[in-house]
Structure 1
Amino acid sequence: MTPPEHEMPLMEHLGELRRRIIYVLIVFVLALAGGLFAAGPVYDWLIRSGSAQAFQLNAFSFWDGIGIYMKIAMLIGIAVALPFACYQLWKFVSPGLRPQERNATLRYVPYVLLLFVIGAAFAYFIVFPMAIQFTSSVTKSMGLHETYGIAQYFTFMFNIVLPVALLFELPLLIMFLTGIRVLTPMRLRKWRKISYFLLVFVAVVITPPDFISDFLVAIPLLVLYEVSVYMSVVVYRKQLRADEEREAQLRVAPDR
């Protein structure tokens, strides 16, 4: 790997990292503030659609309404700030990358929000209804009357939606780490069994304890991992070709 354009002392690296983190926090706070304005329409849509219609939700605390607005705003803030955070990460590591690697890894940033939204949609429309249906059936089988708090409902939902949405970033994360030469397809294949175990464990934790639900969530996560491995192979092969071309140019250059 060619040396970076300019080397920075450790303290300058830490200062640069601190500056990037501050930028991300500023954007997150601004997105959080904007999310508070959007929380109302989002809340109305969530209440009118999906599993919420099956229950009469109640407020058991004076702060429940504010808490729900804050959670919705938090989710919006994360969704907006995540691509910017990835861009700041790229800015931090880009001085140590070759020009081709800089351009290649920068292309991943616009897809961060897209995968987050796809993951959130998968969690909300598929995983969350299964979890609600299972827990509700258990409650009814025990002869209990369902009276849920609005805070409990949304906390349960966000505890499922947010982790799954973040897991859907796995292909981009793997491609980025491969692009900066931290990961290789060989390592990913070597770690396949451990990765499978962790992904299945996550699927079991966030879904009801029945095989069908676990299967419906675990399979997409495992497919995501295999897609990540494949994309890592694509990036890695491009790196090898670029390295070979660079070495060929270096061999030819002295003869001129």
Structure 2
Amino acid sequence: MAEKQKEMSFLGHLEELRWHLVRSAAAIFIIAILLFVFQKQVYEYFLLAHRKPDFVTYQFFCDFFNMFGMDSTFCNVKFKDNLISLKPTQQLMNAIWSSLILGIILSFPYLLWEIWRFVSPGLTQNEVKRSKGFIFIASLLFFLGIAFSFYVIAPISIHFLYNYQITDLIQNNFTMDSHIGLVTNMLLGVAILFELPVLIYFLTKIGLVTPEFLKKYRKHALVVVLILAAIITPPDIASQVIVAIPILILYEISIKVSKMVIKKQQKDAQKSPRV
């Protein structure tokens, strides 16, 4: 009888998980459909915004270098040709795929909330109280990563890559897929990297990471960060440093987060009655 109740409980959890997944998928598809309806605005003002010479980041860097009396290529940003589409279905498929990716990005807080609703019944009352800010903090870090990628990494990378040329015998004719893929990959990649403090929080909670471990391997982490920065940015030192700095700051924040978790666990252990 107990085994049957346990089996029913397991099936009940599966049914509950299924509905969480269904609602999450529905949220993504609803937002994706709305984005697809307004695809022209999404492309012109977001996905292709970095191809406009008057983009805010180009203007900022131009004014910044001019303030120190230095010339900058950001003051004369030019993109020679429009992007090209090589297949009859390429624009349609790209619009669908981009809408889905942006749908995932915009629905991220709701997806976290669905995860929280599934996990929270298995937590203690104290754990629920301490984790109330999880959705807000994780969402904030995620969208900070999106903003940093959109306003800093993407324009610098696109400006560099579009102007890089080995020889005049080679002409750059970029496809829309390559450009949109570059932008969306950077958005998601950097946003996930910005979740580092949240990841460290949970790894510390389950005992896989400690502050001492993070401090000991700080130099190794620096190497990994630089490698990641080299992957998601063009191969110039300035862009890699710009990306590496906030990630290293997040790493230091993660060490402090890990310390807080350990201290809280030690306090709870002292308060709990000894058997």
TM-score tier by shorter-chain length is 0.7 to 0.9
What amino acid sits opposite 1:231 in the alignment?
V
Q: How does 1:95-134 map to 2 (within 5 A)?
A: 95-134=121-160
Range that drifts further, 22-31 or 172-181: 172-181
1:135 shift after superposition? 2.1
Range that drifts further, 81-90 or 218-227: 81-90
CA distance in 2, matches of 1:177, 1:101: 15
CA distance in 2, matches of 1:91, 1:187: 32
Please give the TM-score of this superposition, normalised by the length of structure 2.
Answer: 0.73
- Within the alignment, does 1:244 sit opposite 2:270 as a pair? yes
Aligned twin of 1:20: 20
What SS does structure 1 have at the residue aligned with 2:131? helix
CA distance in 2, matches of 1:132, 1:138: 10
Tell whether the 8 Å contact from 1:105 to 1:176 is kept in structure 2 after alignment.
no
CA distance in 2, matches of 1:121, 1:221: 14
- Within the alignment, does 1:30 sit opposite 2:56 as a pair? no
CA distance in 1, matches of 2:123, 2:203: 12
What amino acid sits opposite 1:107 in the alignment?
G
Structure 2: tracts of 5 or more residues without a match: 1-5, 54-77
Tell whether the 8 Å contact from 1:59 to 1:149 is kept in structure 2 after alignment.
yes
Please give the TM-score of this superposition, normalised by the length of structure 1.
Answer: 0.78
CA-based RMSD of the aligned residues comes to: 3.1
Aligned twin of 1:172: 198
Q: How does 1:165-204 map to 2 (within 5 A)?
A: 165-178=191-204, 183-189=209-215, 192-204=218-230
CA distance in 1, matches of 2:172, 2:217: 44
Range that drifts further, 182-191 or 132-141: 182-191
What amino acid sits opposite 1:44 in the alignment?
E
Give the 3 Å change call, closer, same or farther, for CA 155–197 of structure 1 in structure 2.
same
Aligned twin of 1:234: 260
What amino acid sits opposite 1:199 in the alignment?
V
CA distance in 1, matches of 2:19, 2:208: 23
Deviations 1:136-177 (A, max 9, x none): 333264443333222222122222222112211222233344
* Equivalent residues, number: 243
Give the 3 Å change call, closer, same or farther, for CA 193–149 of structure 1 in structure 2.
same
